[in-house]
Structure 1
Amino acid sequence: MAIHRRHSRNLEGDSNEHELHAVTRSDDGTAGERAHGREQAQQEKPKKKMRMPGNTAFKQQRLRAWQPILTPKQVLPTLFLIGIIFAPIGAVLLSYSNRVHEFTLTYTDCDSLAPRDGSFSDMPTTAFEYPTFESYQTPQWTYFTNSAASNPSERQGCTIRYDVPGDMEPGVFMYYKLNRYYQNHRRYIKSFDQLQFQGEYRTAKQLDDADCKPLGKTDDNRPIYPCGLIANSLFNDTFSLPVQLNGAGVGGLDRTYNMTDRGITWSHEGDKYKYPDNPPAGEQAYVPPPNWAERYPGGVYSDEHPLPTLADDEHFQVWMRPAAFPDFSKLYYRNDDEVMATGLYEITVNMNYPVKEFGGRKSIVFSTVSWAGGRNNFLGIAYIAMAGFCVAVGLLFTLRQLIRPRRVGDLGLLSWNQPNVKSE
């Protein structure tokens, strides 16, 4: 019996051990599953983006640096050196700017102030400028109308007689100038379609949905070429070639001063423009912008009056480069070979472009150039002014250093070492 009970206890002990091992294995499995679940959850959880810069020398600003200690012995000679260098540069720029011959003829009010009977009268003093000539004859003008002209742009105009007081050496450039004309408005600058300029056919909807709106299509849903505000507002006053009067030509005849409108823009500017493709089947043909309609009978393009070749129209290319300021000049003619000799000249302007509605003015500018460019005194004056400023500041600090010098790095000048600073 004793042996039987001992054996039973052994069996019970073995059973308990098996149960303990089973429980342990069960607990280990559950813990493993939990750990695996946590790892999987951490992997699936999106990582939070860190705004901290990377731990590099550049991003943590640990690069080696050097900062000069500016002392009077370094600063004062530098100021005087800048003044010595800038002063002659400014003088040279100002001298060559003053050698440029230039005069301006403003014809805005020719239709209201000039006689209309073919006679000439003096222009008002506010309508012309001869800044580089000491003596000259007062320019004269007359206004004319010609309702019989087949070209609508030649039906009214102004003829101006002007004096060239001294020979103008080539190159001689003629500009038209506009005042109070703001081309730098964001909507105006963006108002064109580059794909259309590259020759790709653009539908009325495409143009109206793009930057050309509201001048991408007509009211009857026809696409406009060229579209946009810049093209529609193209300057359309035209100018004749200057003619020298009083028998200056061969045989006592008047002599035309030859000028050209070729080469008035950058050489690569024409590469931006291609002749437009024909419209696909079922699409509308292009029509001119509203302000161009008078030049095309019926306000449409035709075989007799085809679409303009913008790659060859340098006046259009010049206009399509908007000016940054409200007063600007754009090149119209040039002569790189012949002298514009002293004498009396005449030029005819066909007046079509409205400027009085916004209080603007329009003028003709004749000018030569130097190696430094056209007439512009600002750069020379700026150099001279900076030279004077540097020399004046240099003298001021030199006197300060002589009268009340101070030792560099003097700790006694720190704010907390001053006797009048109260400790808080």
Structure 2
Amino acid sequence: MSEVKSRKPANTAFKQQRLKAWQPLLTPKTVLPTLFIAGIIFAPLGGLFLYESDTVNEIVIDYTHCFSQTLGQPVIVGEDQYSYTFTSANTTVILVPTMELTNSTTWMDGTAPGDGSLVQRCTIEFTIPTQLNSPIYLYYRLTNFYQNHRKYVKSLSNNQLKGSVIGSPEAGTSCTQMSTDPSGKVYYPCGLIANSVFNDTFSNLTLLDVPGSTDDNQTFVFDDSDISWSSDNSKYGSYSGDPSSVAPPPNWSKRYPNGYNATNIFDPQKDKHFQVWMRTSWFPTFRKLYAKYTSADPLPGGTYKVSVDLNYDITQYGGTKSLVLTGTSFLGNRNSFMGLAYIVMGCICAFLGIVFLVRNFYRPRKLGDHDRLSWNNHQD
């Protein structure tokens, strides 16, 4: 008979728990300085972070219901649908943004919808009250969109996105609820995330009535070639199979009305907007980078317009979509959460330090006092 293998752990210091260890004693002399030092560090840092966040200039304009406006008639954006946040003193006069709905036979890139439908275009005019230095970032902001839902997050095929050909069984496992079309073709790319990709299109910013110039308008070009994480490039590749063997997702029908062929097959490695969308958000309200302005020339104050091709219906989710134009600080975008969190934590540490200090001053306790043992306090 073979020997029974022993399940006894090896006789080593790690597995036999003989490593040297140090367990600090929590005494007033160690706890009180720690709390006060934490309070002294956290609170000023929080104030610095909050100040830096407040120095970021930002414009947010909700254009959700632009599609329902009367054609060719500019309308004023409601007070609850836009916000201006500027630090410069020269921001006393801010014109209310306006939106105007028009129809076009082509998208901004010059191509026409394959089904012959018209493209709804929303032109937004707004004021930048002071000069903005680059870099300047253009985001879209969505609300009430739960990208963090478990079924949604898992509904994709990493193998397919890297360019591999997958069959219906693998697509059905990876891309729940969005794997194949009625004819049995696998969707490319499959999954709920890809099918719901944000597809509104923003134009460059145009300055109207350029001051001190004979030109009526001046266009500032925003670049979208470097908006995704550099590490995302390794996650995507060109499709290696027959384009006619796969089908575009249902919500991509206007973009590919006749399906895929050798000349128009979707390439996720080149589509940076797709890569940004595929990095799902943790919260139902989020913003994603669309383009950025990195030229050395600043954006002068004045009235600007930007056009948006309305392709994305957010109303079916009961949400909203907004245009966000913002700068940045060394902490990133405008967000007061980190600063407030540090301030609150610093105040809590300082408060607890004061409470424990007073408690120790009026009712000190001797370390290792035998009179505190339960059997010494037992009364018959």
- Do the two structures share a fold, i.e. TM-score over 0.5? yes
The structure where helix makes up a greater share of residues is 1
Cα drift, residue 334 of structure 1: 0.2
**How far has the Cα of 1:398 moved from its partner?**
1.6
- Specify the alignment match of 1:128 in structure 2: 82
- The answer to whether the aligner puts 1:68 opposite 2:24 as a matched pair is yes
Amino acid at match of 2:81: A
Per-residue deviation, 1:97: 0.9
Q: Does 1:256 align with 2:196?
A: no
- Give 2:201's aligned residue: 238
Identity of aligned residues (%): 39
State the distance in 1 between where 2:17 and 2:203 align: 66
Larger radius of gyration: 1
- Residues 1:223 and 2:186 are matched in the alignment: yes
- The 5 A counterparts of 1:371-410 are 371-410=330-369
Matches within 5 A, 1:184-223: 184-203=148-167, 205-223=168-186
Give 1:224's aligned amino acid. Y
Change (3 A) 1:148 1:244: closer
> Equivalents in 2 of 1:154, 1:406: separation in Å?
81
Q: Is 1:207–1:213's contact at 8 Å kept on the other side of the alignment? A: no
Distance 2:212 2:153 in 1: 45
Counterpart in the other structure of 1:151: 112
Residue 295 of structure 1: aligned partner = 255
The alpha-carbon deviation at position 183 of structure 1 amounts to 1.0
Counterparts of 1:209 and 1:94 in 2: how far apart (Å)?
47
3-state DSSP of counterpart to 2:353: helix
Instruction: Tell me, in whole angstroms, the C-alpha distance in 1 between the residues paired with 2:29 and 2:351.
Output: 17
**Does the Cα contact within 8 Å between 2:244 and 2:260 map onto a contact in 1?**
no
Cα distance in 2, alignment partners of residues 122 and 164 from structure 1? 16
1:315 aligns with 2:279: no
Note the residue ranges of structure 1 that are not aligned, 5 or more in a row.
Answer: 1-42
Confirm whether residue 179 of structure 1 aligns to residue 143 of structure 2: yes
Q: Does the CA-based 8 Å contact 1:248-1:254 persist in structure 2?
A: no
| Aligned-partner residue type, residue 39 of structure 2 | G
- Spell out, residue by residue over 1:101-125, the C-alpha distance to the aligned partner (whole angstroms, 9 max, x if none): 112111112233x4x2423222111
Does 2:285 match 1:331? no
Q: Which has the higher contact order (CA 8 A, sep 6+)?
A: 2
Summarize deviations over 1:267-310 as a string: whole Å, max 9, x none: 2322322222243xxx9622211111222233x1235x510222
Deviation at 1:249, TM superposition (A): 8.0
Q: Is the 8 A contact 2:62 2:82 kept in 1?
A: yes
Q: Distance in 1 between matches of 2:339 and 2:160?
A: 43
CA RMSD of aligned residues (A): 2.4
Q: Contact 2:227/2:289 (CA < 8 Å) preserved in 1?
A: yes
Q: Which among 35, 58, 68 is matched to residue 14 of structure 2?
A: 58
Question: What CA distance in whole angstroms lies between the structure 2 residues aligned with 1:130 and 1:345?
Answer: 14
Does 1:341 pair with 2:341?
no
Cα distance in structure 2, aligned partners of 1:159 and 1:49: 76
AA aligned to 2:144 is R
The aligned counterpart of 1:81 is 37
For 1:97-116, list aligned pairs within 5 A: 97-112=53-68, 114=69, 116=70
- Evaluate the alpha carbon distance shift between residue 47 and residue 97 of structure 1 in structure 2; reply closer, same or farther with a 3 A threshold: same
1:106-155: per-residue Cα shift (whole Å, max 9, x none)? 1112233x4x2423222111110123356422111122233677623861
Partner of 1:269: 232
How far apart are residue 176 of structure 1 and its match?
0.5
Give the paired residue count: 369
* Displacement of 1:57: 4.1
Change over 3 Å in CA distance of 1:63–1:393 after alignment to 2 = same
Q: Tell me how far apart the structure 1 counterparts of residues 112 and 42 of structure 2 sit (CA, whole Å).
A: 55
CA contact (8 A) 2:106 2:118 kept: no
User: Structure 1 residues 368-377 or 143-152, which shifts more?
Assistant: 143-152
Q: Which runs of 5+ in 2 are unaligned?
A: none
Distance in 1 of aligned mates of 2:244 and 2:126: 49
**Partner residue, 1:11:** none
1:329 match: secondary structure: strand
Contact in 2 for aligned 1:207/1:217 (Cα 8 Å) = no
CA distance in 1 between partners of 2:255 and 2:37 (Å): 62
Query: Deviation at 1:321?
Result: 0.9
CA contact (8 A) 1:144 1:158 kept: yes
Given residue 351 of structure 1, which amino acid in structure 2 is its aligned partner? L
Q: Deviations over 1:160-200 (max 9, x none)?
A: 11111222211100000111101112222222222222222
Task: Classify 1:177/1:395 alpha carbon distance in 2 versus 1 (closer, same or farther; 3 Å).
Answer: same
Mean CA deviation greater in 215-224 or 316-325: 215-224
- Structure 1 stretches of 4+ moved >6 Å: none
TM-score by length of 2: 0.89
Paired residues for 1:22-61 under 5 Å: 43=1, 47=4, 56-61=12-17
